[in-house]
Every structure is written in structure tokens, then in C-alpha cells.
């Protein structure tokens, strides 16, 4: 069992002990992901890049928790939908490598389709 | 190096090869997390629980990609903010175990504060 | 001056009295819109359609406030970007009428492009 | 009938002609609000304040449409939930005036509770 599978197993064990699977329909879990991502984003609102740096230093723990919450829901939802998140991630990295070849995309932030329309 | 560190290293290598770190300020990366989570949620909109099940079966790959995108940005942002995502996750699981003791939370979806006000 | 212009004027007067325009760059205001919309959505999470109805009845005021917050930021951002929101709305309604002709779209929720591919 | 009521009536007439009310449960409509707000926010991503200004000038119509979409869903959802959006807005403005008195909040962006803890 790889590490992500082990962390996922920990989440499912936690859920089963509390008999909470009955509440976790995928639509509401997807809503949780948006809500947690919004909470994370809120930390950066109304701040310049410099202010963000100082703020993050002072609020490292709160921000770590938000990231952990998102990570948690990604693993849980992947499990419930039968998605192997590690494989999905590696497939996406492979796809991105093909979409953004180094020689065409270095130092530029153009989108894939623009790059290929050059 | 644990598995999450290895996957993170892969992301950073991909980014460095393209010289893209200059674009990745944390505020915009946090926006990406919200945008990707919204895209994932959109798959579930206007659908009942039954319709979701059938839809997921037919759109497994697209949904896997959305999950991979969110996972990608969580690892990247954790890296950039100096957050060890595995430790953050384990700390959150510990905290949740204390907040939601099995005997008080089994089968109920009450919030933490309500539980402790019983 | 139409009614929406009057309400907008009220917002701008409130802001000017507090000298707050300096904080309202459009990017952060757009973030506010997402945050407020997320807060509204949270009211409906983990609830079936029946549960939503009862919940809304009991929480009418809180939900009204969330809607008012979104409405507020739409008017403020439209003002700051030089968008006449009433004209923009009427143009969108016109566009939707053309995209979704009654005879093709009645009782069906197919998307515009699917409808036109029939 | 005030102007907002007239615009709302136009939305409901459009919906009734297409027999679309059956699809508009409040939870999914609230999801629409988040999705449209996210699309609007995406226009501002990866851009500095200066870049935003130039971008908005060139993409005024697309941005107007996003604002119109959000405005549309706010009116529709207010209608469906029995919320008088104009009254809700005026009540919120009144509340904000009390929360942020001019003499305490001028030129500062502190939150309400901080202001009152001074």
C-alpha cells in the first residue's frame, strides 16, 4: 500500500468509526472542497505580495490547517469516486509535460492552445 | 524522502524547467485552488444522487483530472508556503479525533461546538 | 437616474465617507464575490431539498444578508469597472432569449450548443 | 412595482415560458452563483493591478456578461426564497453604517470587531 493509500485508509477508518459515510454524498463533499479552498484564499485577500509574506509567517498554523482540510477532502472524494489519486496525478503530470514542452513554454505563461498556435 | 515529498519534487522540477516560479505568487495559486474546486463541483450540479452515480461512471477520467489538479495545487502551494502537508494532515486528523470523539459523534452530524454543548 | 444607479450611489457614498476606495482593487473585490457566494452556498450544504425548505424558513434573515452582500459587491464592482449593470443584464436576457428559443428549450435543460446541434 | 421587481419578473417570465422552474432547486442555484463568481474572478488571476486595468478595457463585454450572470442568479434566487432583495440590501446598508461609523473607520480597513475593541 502506498503512502497516499495509507492516509486515505486513515480517513476512512475515522469516518467508519463515526458512521459518517451516510452523510458524505459526493455533491456535498465537492461543495466542501470549494468552501475550504475559499477559506484558504480569504487569507490572501486585501494583501499585497509583501503583506502576504509577513502574514503567512505569522499565521503558518492556520494556513497549514486549511491546506490539510483541502488535502483531506481530495483524498476522501477520490476514494468515494473510485479514483486512484496518485495515478491520476501522475497521468496529469505526463499530460502537462506534453502540453507544455520546455522549449516552447520556458519563461512564458501562455496557455497551451496559444503555444501550439505559434 | 516520503512519497508526498517525491511528488512535490516532481512538480517543482517541472516548474523550474519552465522557469514558471516567477508567476506563482501564493495569492494567485490560492485562486487556482478555488477555480479547480469549482470546476470539480460543476460536474455534480443539477444532478440528483442517482444521476451523479451514473454521470461519474461515464466521466471518470474528466473527474480524475479535476481531482489531480486540486491535488497538484495543494502540493505546490504547501511547498511554496513552507508547509509540510503530511504533518499538517496528521495534525488535523489528531485534532479532529479530539473534537469528534466516537462516543459523542457516532451517527450524528452535529458540529463540534454543538456536540460539546450537549 | 434609475433605481440601480441610486443604490450604487448609496454604496459609493458610504465608501467615500470612509475613504475606503483605496482598498477596493477589482481583483480583491472579485474575491469578495466568490467568498460571499460560498457563504451563501454553505447554507444549503448537507441538506436534502426538503431540509432546505425548512432551513430557509428558519434562517430567512441570515440568507437575506448573504444575498444582499453579493448584490452589494456586484453593484460596487460594476461601478468600478464602468459597467452599467442594468444594460448588461438586459443584453444578457436578450442573448439568452436567442440562445434558448421557447420551442426548442421548453421543459428541457440541454445546453445551448446541444440544442442547436439537434 | 420597483425596478428590481420588474427585472425579476422578466427572469421569471423567461423561466416560465421554458418550464424551467422544475430544475431550479435553491442548492443548485446557489452553486451557480459560486460558479459564475469564480468565472468572473478568473479574469483577474495572474495579473497585477496595472495589467488588470488594461485587460478590463479590452474585455469589457466578457466581464459585463459575468457580472450580469451573477446579478441574474441573485434576483432569481431571492425570488425563489421569498427575499425582497431591495429591502435586504437597504437593511444591510443600515447595519453596515452602524457597524462602521465614519469617525472610527475612516481610512482604516480594520474589521468591525477590531474597531469596537479599540
| Nearest CA-CA distance, residue C118 and chain D, Å | 17
Residues of chain B found within 8 Å of residue C34, distances taken between Cβ atoms: 34
Mutation for testing the B interface, residue in C31, C32, C48 having most B CBs under 10 Å: C31
Q: Copy the grid coordinates of residue D53.
A: 486595468
C-alpha cell at C26: 477589482
Number of other residues whose CB lies within 10 A of the CB of residue C85: 22
Measured CA to CA, the distance from residue B70 to residue A77 in angstroms comes to 12
**D32-64 confidence digits (pLDDT tens):** 999 999 999 999 999 988 899 999 999 999 999
How far A92 CA lies from chain C's nearest CA (Å)?
Answer: 27
Interface-testing mutation among B20, B32, B34, with chain D (most D C-beta atoms within 10 A): B34
Distance from CA of D67 to the nearest CA of C (A): 7
ipTM of the predicted assembly exceeds 0.85: yes
Q: What is the pLDDT of residues A99-117, one digit of tens each?
A: 999 999 998 877 666 666 6
**Alpha carbon separation from C1 to A23, C87, C89 (Å, rounded):** 50, 13, 17
Residues of B within 8 A of A8 (CB-CB) are: none
Residue pair B80/B29 in contact (Cβ under 8 Å)? The answer is yes
- Output the nine-digit C-alpha cell for B22: 516567477
3-state class (DSSP) for residue C109: coil
- pLDDT band for position C67 (cuts 50, 70, 90): very high
Report chain C residues whose CB lies below 8 A from the CB of B34: 34
pLDDT one-digit tens code per residue, B39-57: 999 999 999 888 999 999 9
pLDDT digits (tens, 9 = 90+) for A69-103: 999 999 999 999 999 999 999 999 999 999 999 99
C109 closest CB neighbour out of B31, B46, B109? B46
C108: region left, alpha or beta (phi > 0 left; psi from -120 to 50 alpha) = beta
Please report the DSSP string for A47-80 in residue order. Answer: --HHHHHHHHHHTHHHHHHHHHHHHHHHHHHHHH
Integer Cα distance of B90 and A72 in angstroms: 10
A32: nearest CA in chain D? D31
Strand, coil or helix: D59: coil
Radius of gyration from C-alpha coordinates of chain A: 18
Amino acid at each position: 500500500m502506498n503512502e497516499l493509500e495509507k492516509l486515505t485508509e486513515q480517513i476512512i477508518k475515522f469516518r467508519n468509526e463515526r458512521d459518517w459515510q451516510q452523510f458524505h454524498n459526493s455533491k456535498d463533499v465537492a461543495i466542501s472542497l470549494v468552501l475550504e479552498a475559499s477559506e484558504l484564499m480569504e487569507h490572501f485577500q486585501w494583501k499585497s505580495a509583501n503583506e502576504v509574506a509577513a502574514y503567512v509567517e505569522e499565521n503558518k498554523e492556520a494556513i497549514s490547517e486549511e491546506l490539510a482540510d483541502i488535502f483531506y477532502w481530495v483524498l476522501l472524494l477520490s476514494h468515494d469516486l473510485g479514483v486512484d489519486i496518485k495515478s491520476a496525478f501522475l497521468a496529469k503530470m505526463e499530460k502537462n509535460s506534453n502540453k507544455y514542452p520546455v522549449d516552447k513554454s520556458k519563461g512564458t505563461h501562455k496557455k497551451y492552445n496559444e503555444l501550439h498556435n505559434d
